[in-house]
Structure 1
Amino acid sequence: MIQQISNSELELMKIIWKEGGKALYASIMSELKKEECEWKKNTVLTLLSRLVDKGFLTTSKIGRRNVYVALVSEEDYLTTQTKSFLEKVYEGNVRGLVSTLIQQDILSSDDLEELQTYWKEKLNE
């Protein structure tokens, strides 16, 4: 099972996933700067090292530069986290989750229509 990661670690993973699952340290820092994230070099290196230790990333060298490669896909991570949330909060009851989304106006009627269309298409595959 894929373990939990911190919000900061997730931010780095999102950058790496956005880069196609592989990113140089320099491109990670560049992307953080674009997002106006002022993390120091040591902070980023520590977070990347933790992600390697947790089995989310591996590193290799291109010349003298480190390239970080995702071992966990974004889809696998999201699926695991969604299932974990559903089990933890709703005891696996999807209807309870959807009911909350509708009752709290988080899921609009347009969203619901889109989901119904998606579901119908999935059933016809």
Structure 2
Amino acid sequence: MVQQVSDFELELMKTIWANGGTALYAEIVEELEKKDMSATKNTIISLLLRLIDKKFLQTNKIGRRNKYTALVSEAAYQAAQTENFLKKIYEGDAKELISTLIQKDLISASEYEDLKIHWKGGGKAE
């Protein structure tokens, strides 16, 4: 089972996923700065080490620099967290989740119909 990560750890993972699944420390920092999410070097390194301990990342040395590689895909993390959320909040009842999404206008009726048509065709939602 895929563990949950903190919000900042998730931002680090999103940065690495967006970079094709690998990133150097400098690339991670650059992307965080673009999002106005600066943190100290020690904080970022500590969180990257925590992600390594949680088996989300592995690191390889390239000269004196570390290259971080995702061991968990974004899709796998999203699926695991969605399943956890569904179990925790809706006791596994997807119909209740969908009902809430429609009632609160978080998904329109036409978007819902598009999803139904897409899945009937054997496709995978994008």
How high is the TM-score relative to the length of structure 1?
Answer: 0.94
Q: Is 2:55 the counterpart of 1:93?
A: no
The equivalent residue for 2:112 is 112
- For structure 1, the residue ranges without an aligned partner over 5 or more in a row are none
Q: Is 2:38 the counterpart of 1:22?
A: no
The equivalent residue for 2:11 is 11
The equivalent residue for 2:38 is 38
- In 2, the alpha carbon distance for the partners of 1:117 and 1:79 equals 21
The equivalent residue for 2:56 is 56
Q: Is 2:70 the counterpart of 1:70?
A: yes
Letter in 2 for 1:73: S
Tell me the SS of whatever aligns to 1:99: helix
Q: CA deviation at 1:117?
A: 2.0
Tell me the SS of whatever aligns to 1:20: coil
How high is the TM-score relative to the length of structure 2?
Answer: 0.93
- In 2, the alpha carbon distance for the partners of 1:59 and 1:27 equals 14
Tell me the SS of whatever aligns to 2:121: helix
Check whether the contact 2:29–2:38 (CA below 8 A) recurs between aligned residues.
no
Runs of 4+ displaced beyond 4 Å: none
Q: CA deviation at 1:19?
A: 0.6
- In 2, the alpha carbon distance for the partners of 1:28 and 1:66 equals 11
- Mean CA deviation greater in 106-115 or 19-28: 106-115
Letter in 2 for 1:61: K
The equivalent residue for 1:2 is 2
Q: CA deviation at 1:84?
A: 0.5
Q: CA deviation at 1:2?
A: 0.8
Q: CA deviation at 1:10?
A: 0.2
Q: CA deviation at 1:40?
A: 1.2
Q: CA deviation at 1:104?
A: 1.2
- In 2, the alpha carbon distance for the partners of 1:60 and 1:67 equals 5
Check whether the contact 2:52–2:58 (CA below 8 A) recurs between aligned residues.
yes
Letter in 2 for 1:2: V
